[in-house]
Amino acid sequence: MIGDPIAHSLSPRIHNAGFAAAGLDWAYVAFRVPAGRGAEAVAAMRTLGIAGMSVTMPHKEAVAAACDRLTPIAAALGAVNCIALEGDEVVGDNTDGGGCCWALDQAGANLDGAPVVVLGAGGAARSVVAALGARGAEVTVVARRPDAARRAAALSPSGRVGTPAAVRGAAVVINATPVGMAQHPGMPCDPQRLHSGQLVMDLIYHPERTPWLDAAATRGALTLNGVGMLLGQALAQFERWTGVGAPVDAMAAALDQHLGWLPG
């Protein structure tokens, strides 16, 4: 895995638990690679014959440009979070949005035709909008920069740009902004718009419960934090690299102190 910062990443814990449970003599290691050197890390991976690599901030776009081939979702996003060495070819993929849908599936959401509001239009929002669109959800993007919101909405066949008022009519509301993290205090939308019958998801997993998620639960909504997405995107990466089914229970157990991702 490459990124910066990276020291507190949970991914080594998740993947190494998966390798052990699957009986694979593999190891997953985090490397702090500063901005601007992602392409060099891809070259090193090719030289060393490393089977795969997770890619996180600030390298997702630069590494996409350094790949030999991109999956359709990675090409649409222009960003990769996962690369695999397939023969001599470095293939870039993006499993973030699929991981979010996996977590929503676990919570019992029926995404096909569901009205979903995504708050934010950055990298995570874009991958989530694209994946939700592929699952048939009716996605509305609500973000403070209209141009970014338009570009994100365009990633979904039925995507549109909306205002915070759209939150009230959504079956699923997803916070894809950093608002609620320690460095970004506040709420991504007025919790008065949230109500029972909705599934409210925060992509943030540190802290495990944001004030917004707590407010949503108080108002009767089913709530979900970002740990399920973290796990879901890791499962897809594991399967792409190893070609075997991911041992979900073992990988989830590696996150047992973060089990707030379960619906609550």
Residue 55's contacts (CB-CB under 8 Å, 6 or more residues apart) are 1, 2, 3, 38, 63, 80, 81, 82, 83
- Would you give the binding string for ligand NAP spanning residues 155-194, x where CB under 6 A is met? ---------------------xxxx-x--x----------
Instruction: Round to whole Å and give the CA distance between 119 and 96.
Output: 16
Which range binds ligand NAP by CB under 6 A, 19-27, 35-43, 223-231, 251-259? 223-231
User: Which of 91, 114, 124, 200 forms a contact with ligand NAP (CB under 6 A)?
Assistant: 124
CB of 111 to ligand NAP, least distance (A): 17
Q: Of the candidates 224, 199, 256, which has an alpha carbon nearest to the alpha carbon of residue 103? A: 224
**Helix, strand or coil for residue 172?**
strand
Contacts made by residues 64-67, CB under 8 angstroms, sequence distance 24+: 64/92, 65/39, 66/38, 66/39, 66/42, 66/90, 67/42, 67/91, 67/92
Q: Which is nearer to ligand NAP, 134 or 179 (CB)?
A: 179
Selected catalytic residue, list 15, 60, 126, 240 = 60
* Residue 125 found at the interface with ligand NAP (CB under 6 A): yes
Give residue 197's identity as a one-letter amino acid code.
G
Closest residue to ligand NAP, judged by C-beta, is: 122
Which range binds ligand NAP by CB under 6 A, 68-76, 199-207, 210-218, 248-256? 199-207
Residues in the interface with ligand NAP (CB under 6 A) total: 24
Could you give the angle at the alpha carbon of 160 between the alpha carbons of 214 and 103, nearest 5°? Answer: 40
Q: Restricting to residues 61-100, name those near ligand NAP by CB under 6 A.
A: 96
Q: Which is nearer to ligand NAP, 44 or 78 (CB)?
A: 78
Give residue 147's identity as a one-letter amino acid code.
D
Q: Is 160 marked active-site?
A: no
Query: The tokens of 125 are what?
Result: 């929002």
List, by residue number, the catalytic residues: 60
Binding site for ligand NAP (CB under 6 A): 96, 120-125, 143-145, 148, 176-179, 181, 184, 203-205, 226, 229-230, 233
